[in-house]
Amino acid sequence: MQEDKTARRYFVTGTVQGVGYRYFAQRAARHLGLAGFVRNLGDGRVEVYAVGLAESLEKLKGELQQGPSGAQVTSVLEGVMERAREEDAAIERRSADGFSIEYDN
C-alpha cells in the first residue's frame, strides 16, 4: 500500500565513482523491492533515492555502507543535498516504480 511507503535520499562519499557503485546500489535496491534511482554527483558523491518500506530502506542503507569490493565508503548521509540530515524525502512520481541508474544530471 502506498501509505506504508516512504522515500529516502542517501548521499554516499568516499571512493564511490568508477568502481561499479551505481550498479551495486541498483541490484541491492531491486533485491529489497525498492523503487528509485542512483546517480553520480559532480562533487564525487553518489546519490541514491529510494522508495519503499522503512525496514527495506534501513537494509539498503546498510548495503550502501558496505558497497562493492572496489569501493571505499566514507559515509552514507540521509537528507537533502544542501544539508545532510535525517529526514524523509518526498515520493517522486517518476521514481515510484522500478530502480534506475541515471546518467547526467
Task: Please identify which of the residues 8, 22, 27, 94 carries the catalytic annotation.
Answer: 22
pTM of the model: 0.82
Contact 26, 92 (CB under 8 A): no
Q: Residue 41: what pLDDT? A: 95
Parent domain of 71: 2-102
Active site residue 40: yes
Q: What angle, 0 to 180 degrees and rounded to 10, lies between the N-to-C axes of helices 54-66 and 21-31?
A: 150
**Sorting pLDDT into bands at 50, 70 and 90, what band is 103?**
confident
Could you give the CA distance from residue 15 to residue 67 in angstroms, rounded to a whole number? 10
The pLDDT value recorded for residue 89 is 62
The CATH number assigned to the domain holding 10 equals 3.30.70.100
Per-residue pLDDT tens digits for 64-78: 999 999 999 999 998
Catalytic residue among 8, 9, 40, 45: 40
Distance from C-alpha of 53 to C-alpha of 45, rounded to nearest angstrom? 25
Please say if 105 is a catalytic residue: no
Show the beta-strand stretches assigned E in the chain: 6-15, 35-40, 46-52, 72-78, 99-102
Model confidence over 26-65: pLDDT tens digits?
999 999 999 999 999 999 999 999 999 999 999 999 999 9
Domain count, the chain: 1
Residues in the chain: 105
